[in-house]
Amino acid sequence: MNRRQFTTRLAALFAAPALPASAVSAAASAPVAAPVALSSGASSWASYLMAMHKTCTPTMLKSVLNVSEDMAQTLHSRMVSDGIIQDGNRVVREVKQRIKSALEVPDMPDTRPAVADDLDALADIWFDGWFEAHAAHVPDELKALRSRDSLRIRLEDMLENTDVVGPVGAPVGFCTVKGDEIYQFYVSPAARGSGTADALLLAGEKRLKDSGIEVGQLWVLPENARAIAFYQRNGWDGDTVSDVPLDTLDGPYLLPCRILQKAL
């Protein structure tokens, strides 16, 4: 995992805005000749500095950020009052755990746009993944509408809005967006735990943000605890359960789903 990926994940864990790449680069090659705006994310700065295994003291902040002693003391005091650090030098237990969690995430693989040669493999991933996650919780009527052929036909129309991980013709996961949604998102069992899901979700979120979406949404079965936990770790949340129109080749099919959202 590179520094940018690490700090992006930390920012999500802290529910704070990610540092821009320029800020990450500057902080990594201190000193930084730039003003520090407390309102723009003391939490983000603290996250990055702690991630680099430095002690958050006023002296360290003054050196790394190249600010005055008064500004360093003010920033340090703000971080203490926000609960980011405690007792001057000591990182709170929760922050340590969050950093530990971030460190345990594997390097994320590269994503790429899907191409026509991926269609057969993507249909297999979608078909197998859908039945694994949903078959025990949905009506037989819906299962009958989820044939592999129907999913492949739909994938042809979705291809331009789809990112994948893996070589051409043999992807191991995909994420498709539609409107303001993370629309379809599946990873093969062999690729789980490899960082593939994290990479694909970030790619989907980027597509939404680049298209002007400020708040994304996704639908998930209330019974799918594993998926809900994954999304929540990545900043998605929401408790609303409502009948939503699932797309099929025969038209919409209403099914109760939990609606999760995230500010992008």
Q: Each residue of 94-153: pLDDT tens digit?
A: 444 555 555 555 578 999 999 999 999 999 999 999 999 999 999 999 999 999 999 999
% of the chain beyond a pLDDT of 70: 63
pLDDT value for 5: 55
Q: Each residue of 196-230: pLDDT tens digit?
A: 999 999 999 999 999 999 999 999 999 999 999 99
Strands of 215-220's sheet, edge to edge?
Answer: 112-113, 162-165, 173-178, 181-187, 215-220, 253-263, 241-246
pLDDT value for 249: 96
Residue 163 sits at φ, ψ, to 5 deg, of -110, 150
Instruction: Identify which of 179, 177, 202, 198 has the alpha carbon closest to the alpha carbon of residue 187.
Output: 198
pLDDT value for 88: 41
**With bands split at pLDDT 50, 70 and 90, how would you rate the model's confidence at 256?**
very high
What is the pTM for the complete model shown? 0.64
pLDDT value for 240: 96
Structural domains of the chain sorted by starting position, each given as residue range(s) with its CATH number in brackets:
3-103 (no CATH), 112-263 (3.40.630.30)
Query: What are the CA-CA distances from residue 5 to residues 51, 59, 86 (Å)?
Result: 12, 27, 26
Pick the residue with more confidence: 47 or 129? 129
